Amino acid sequence: MRNIIWFRRDLRIGDHPALVEAIKNSEEIVPLFILDKQQIAEAGEKLLAYMGQSLRALDESLGNKLHIIEGDQVEVLKELIARYDVKEVHISAEYERYGAQRDARVEAAGIPLVRTGSPYAVAPGRVVKPSDATPYRVYTPFYRAWRTHGWRAPAVTPKNIKAPTPPEEYRKFPDFKMPKDVTVIAAGEAAALKRFKEFTKNGLDGYDENRNFAAIDGTSKMSTYLKFGEIHPRTLLANLGESTAHDTFRKEIAWREFYADVLFNNPNTDTEYYAPRFKAMRFDKPGKQFAAWCAGKTGYPFVDAAMRQLVQEGWMHNRTRMVVASFLVKDLHLEWQLGERFFAEHLVDYDVASNAHGWQWTAGTGTDASPYYRVFNPIEQGRRFDVNGDYIRKYVPELKHLSAAEIHEPWLFLDGYSKGYSERIVDHAVERIESLERLKEIKEEKPEQPPRRSS
């Protein structure tokens, strides 16, 4: 008797409850990954190329027994069920709209799905207010309740996985090419575990102090591995202590789970405003300024370095994600969805909930308790979080010749534009005021909070 283990956002064998459950009551499992034409059509080149590498790594860990098939999920599953006399199809539960609808369609076709575990330490919908069982709308109380709820220990990694050898027609590994001159993080479960081990040894204890500095390797780089499920968040949480650094890292994992919960409870907010009144705000139409933002040619060095990092590496430092998002919405007066889509096209760690709600948080249209008044100053952010300008020099070679004192405002120095760097497309001080003026146009009579200075 056989069971199918249908891999999706869980490309690993360690800490994988659905895999353990599939093995438990079967003589052999049929490991399966279905290439989804719709998702492939919508995904960015970098993400697809990374996924191809991750599937190869998963196949190796399964003794080269992974079945890779392109086609409709119902048709593929029915074919394998008949071929291998399958009793059950085991999956990790999905909570995002597309995945949940796909699984419902499979079940409606009469295919039994057994859900065990999810991509989260605590599944969306489980953390609710004790007073009325409604979902949390603000992060901090969610975090406290999430910790109180707790999570299970990591699942045991199977030592012996018995699976049939797939015929050639079930070995359709995708040949997605990484774009030229793009270098992304190493793919696969082994790479994830190696990176986390290195981070735990060298970066975790200083995480609270170093995570904001763009020029140093102070973050865990786990976002891509979590996106593809090459590591489970419970593995990351398992041995954390109570120091400020460890709790700061725990809180970053909780942000991912909070945004998944927000999207689960507000399923259209991947594209629509969480705070609907911002639909009425006066935004500009995308044009040359949007193109300059995409190309990393805004004339603001910290912004441009970040945008070029995104295109070259399929990843961007979290601090700079907030800075470039604020610049798009508050300085260029463009809707957050434009930036969200550009990120989706280029990010290897693209996660629909984290991306959309990260953008809405910075845009001031989301769950933040202090929304639109926060305007990141791209000059001061650079000075604070790239003090010596090393991050800027790495991605903006036109400014390599400038000193730390000059590099954040090259327009103030005679040599600032000598290597062809772009002139500023806007004046931040002017656009900050304009942004707040536009807010007044839709503001309710009772003010939400007095204006703050630029961050």
| Beta carbons of 422 and 295 less than 8 angstroms apart | no
Q: Minimal CA–CA distance to 262: which of 374, 172, 356?
A: 356
Residue 443: predicted pLDDT: 78
The count of other CB atoms within 10 Å of the CB of residue 369 is 10
CATH code for residues 120-154+188-265: 1.25.40.80
Structure tokens at 131: 């007073």
Structure tokens at 249: 């890292």
Q: Tokens 């996660």 correspond to what residue? A: 351
* Alpha-carbon span 185 to 194, nearest angstrom: 12
Residue 373: predicted pLDDT: 77
Sheet holding 86-91, edge to edge: 67-70, 28-35, 2-7, 86-91, 113-115
Residue 371: predicted pLDDT: 62
Residue 108: predicted pLDDT: 98
Element (H, E) at 341: helix 336-346
Fill in the DSSP letter of residue 378: H
Structure tokens at 157: 């990694």
* Alpha-carbon span 10 to 92, nearest angstrom: 7
- CA angle (199 as vertex; 46, 254 as ends), nearest 5: 75
> Which homologous superfamily does the CATH classification assign to the domain defined by 2-118?
HUPs (3.40.50.620)
* Alpha-carbon span 412 to 301, nearest angstrom: 13
One pLDDT digit (tens) per residue for the chain, 455 residues: 899 999 999 999 999 999 999 999 899 999 999 999 989 999 999 999 999 999 999 999 999 999 999 999 999 999 999 999 999 999 999 999 999 999 999 999 999 999 999 999 999 999 999 999 999 999 999 999 999 999 999 999 999 999 999 999 999 999 999 999 999 999 999 999 999 999 999 999 999 999 999 999 999 999 999 999 999 999 999 999 999 999 999 999 999 999 999 999 999 999 999 999 999 999 999 999 999 999 999 999 999 999 999 999 999 999 999 999 999 999 999 999 999 999 999 999 999 999 999 999 999 999 876 666 789 999 999 999 999 999 999 999 999 999 999 999 999 999 999 999 999 999 999 999 999 999 999 875 444 444 444 44
Residue 340: predicted pLDDT: 98
The DSSP code sequence of 59-108 is: HHHTTS--EEEES-HHHHHHHHHHHHTEEEEEE----SHHHHHHHHHHHH
Fill in the DSSP letter of residue 385: H
Distance from chain centroid for Cα 222: 10
Cα atoms found within 13 Å of the Cα of residue 255, Cβ hemisphere only: 17
CATH code for residues 276-442: 1.10.579.10
Residue 372: predicted pLDDT: 65
Beta-ladder partners of 3 = 29, 88
Against a cut of 0.85, is the pTM above it?
yes
Residue 370: predicted pLDDT: 61
Q: Minimal CA–CA distance to 347: which of 41, 19, 7, 50?
A: 50
Report CA-CA distances (Å) from 356 to 41, 130, 318: 19, 27, 14
Residue 455: predicted pLDDT: 42
* Alpha-carbon span 366 to 357, nearest angstrom: 7
The residue ranges of every structural domain in the chain are: 2-118, 120-154+188-265, 276-442
* Alpha-carbon span 14 to 333, nearest angstrom: 45
| Beta carbons of 408 and 302 less than 8 angstroms apart | yes
